[in-house]
Structure 1
């Protein structure tokens, strides 16, 4: 668990990090920094009561915030708003920064802040992926992405890494048009010429939106994994050394509540997760939905993950072993792994025939059990988050 010091409310349109006064986070909009319980972001400014907000993005320099607003019956009010930090204060959100800003959704700045990607529907058609050059606080020359990205079906979530990897969701699969899957395209000599479905991140359920980290080392997806609950939750997956994605893991129950969580975004310092949450206000009746943007500390979001795992070794009785574990067996996005634990059949009381040098990551011993047994290693970060991998187990006879 991470412990938080008291936070003082500073200027209305700025807030300061706890550790160092010079680390001013201008995008905080004067709010107290959240802990591991999500709080509404920009209440009355971005998250307005009675309005349906549909996701947020912050430019890499933290001086532009774009967010979507949806209106069920008035298409001209479904658009993207922008506010900028100019001369020490934030401008009032405006929707005039983007030409033809109608039926636009889900803004996302690229990792360099030069391009604004978004989704747009024209004349009642399915949504397509668009981009506009972002310069001088304006989005200019908006154009749909080329035809390999946009199909006759719905395209929605999208994200781009610094090396050019582009991920997006699409309902183009003829076998599952009701549900979105995740696709990617890699640049070849600066051009995108083909796409492929990312099977590790796609399921038979619906993947709707995503956030791809600037380094391309993790992805947060909105997915309908539990259909009986009739809702979407947020899941995280990490890229391993072999360029494969780990099995998406649901974020904790403080983030994924009973409502619909969607449109994830992580601040450029990896400290805060932003997302929109759809709920039904209890006093409004069952036909009225409220959607606001929330933010929360990533203390429980990022956990150690298996970056370079080794195959489980099966041992005979009395078989000796000496295993050098790779230094990059685990990685952690936001901090260093501070300790390891070994457990045999889930007990931390190891027998004398197992020795582990944590500094050298060296495992030595002689397998002295005929009974079914498994030795696991647990990596722990300084927030107490854990990740477990099996190392040794009794060989089946």
Structure 2
């Protein structure tokens, strides 16, 4: 699958003034945008979603004062961040970028101390591009550390995509590590528990979610009560759809189902994320980031 379809230039915008940090409302926490209802809308047009740029894969910090996302700039995806500081949303800061390597799919760890992402950079950060691995950087007193590979319990010699976490630190992600070719499209969802600050060998989730087709870009609810995945299936509504699976009373995943026309279209929907307050579902489509009232999830239970 080709995940990056367009090449755009980075544009800056004036500071977006909001109220003081102590008086922030739900609205101002989201770049001053009017909250969406049950019709998906482009998020922050002209601020985040720009006409001349391809954006995707977004995540807010737990308190909502940081917003990370991917954008294609000069042919290469990079990771940008906006910060709410002194009552203003600041212009984007480049967190990770390269003329040679790709940086995508940012996601913060539950303690907010690490920013995870995927990249095709080699382990030593030099030489030719390789398959996509999951990496992370750590917060330091001077900013962010150098990138660190998430390790052999997570990464394979093939591709790993898009991760998210439960509150307990279990990582959900996808890869095509069980396939014959590095470019094989049969990705599956996996998870790895965090034990004593180390990831355990990853395991596949059940066949209720994984099929013979493509399943990737997984968002897990912090309490592990549901999963949202991007899937390319014959019964989909378009090129790629978002599907959801809930756990039953015995803790087993129920068969995943299409999230329907409120989310999906004939185009490609991917990179789901639900805000920490549980109010909004974000996802990507056609080079823009969309959002919708998260009660759409409850309607599918």
TM-score (norm 2): 0.83
The Cα of 1:26 is off from its aligned counterpart by 3.3
Aligned to 2:186: 179
Q: Measure, in 2, the Cα distance between the counterparts of 1:34 and 1:24.
A: 12
CA gap of 1:124–1:66, structure 2 versus 1, over 3 A, is same
Tell me the SS of whatever aligns to 2:93: coil
Superimposed CA distance per residue, residues 197-256 of structure 1 (whole angstroms, 9 cap, x where no aligned partner): 112321111012011122222211111122786611111112233221111121120210
CA contact (8 A) 2:283 2:290 kept: yes
CA contact (8 A) 2:238 2:265 kept: no
Aligned to 2:110: 111
Aligned ranges 1:186-225 → 2 under 5 Å: 186-199=193-206, 200-225=208-233
Tell me the SS of whatever aligns to 1:216: coil
Aligned ranges 1:96-135 → 2 under 5 Å: 97-98=95-96, 102-122=101-121, 123-134=128-139
CA gap of 1:14–1:231, structure 2 versus 1, over 3 A, is farther
Aligned to 1:158: 163
The Cα of 1:23 is off from its aligned counterpart by 4.2
Aligned to 2:125: none
Consecutive unaligned residues in structure 1, runs of 5 or more: 1-10, 16-20, 279-290, 306-397
Tell me the SS of whatever aligns to 2:199: coil
Which of the numbers 20, 38, 41 marks the counterpart of 2:40? 38
The Cα of 1:57 is off from its aligned counterpart by 0.4
Greater CA drift, 44-53 or 171-180: 171-180
Q: Measure, in 2, the Cα distance between the counterparts of 1:193 and 1:214.
A: 19
The Cα of 1:142 is off from its aligned counterpart by 1.8
Superimposed CA distance per residue, residues 254-279 of structure 1 (whole angstroms, 9 cap, x where no aligned partner): 2101110000010111111111102x
Q: Measure, in 2, the Cα distance between the counterparts of 1:262 and 1:45.
A: 21
Aligned to 1:300: 296
Aligned to 1:51: 53
Superimposed CA distance per residue, residues 335-364 of structure 1 (whole angstroms, 9 cap, x where no aligned partner): xxxxxxxxxxxxxxxxxxxxxxxxxxxxxx
Q: Measure, in 2, the Cα distance between the counterparts of 1:36 and 1:139.
A: 37
Aligned to 1:65: 67
Does 2:247 match 1:239? yes
Q: Measure, in 2, the Cα distance between the counterparts of 1:146 and 1:268.
A: 27
How many residues align? The count is: 274
TM-score (norm 1): 0.64
The Cα of 1:138 is off from its aligned counterpart by 3.6
- The alignment's C-alpha RMSD in Å is 2.5
Consecutive unaligned residues in structure 2, runs of 5 or more: 1-14, 122-127
CA gap of 1:276–1:266, structure 2 versus 1, over 3 A, is same
The Cα of 1:22 is off from its aligned counterpart by 6.9
Q: Measure, in 1, the Cα distance between the counterparts of 2:193 and 2:98.
A: 29
Q: Measure, in 2, the Cα distance between the counterparts of 1:47 and 1:98.
A: 19
Q: Measure, in 1, the Cα distance between the counterparts of 2:24 and 2:92.
A: 27
Tell me the SS of whatever aligns to 1:141: coil
Q: Measure, in 2, the Cα distance between the counterparts of 1:182 and 1:28.
A: 30
Tell me the SS of whatever aligns to 1:301: helix
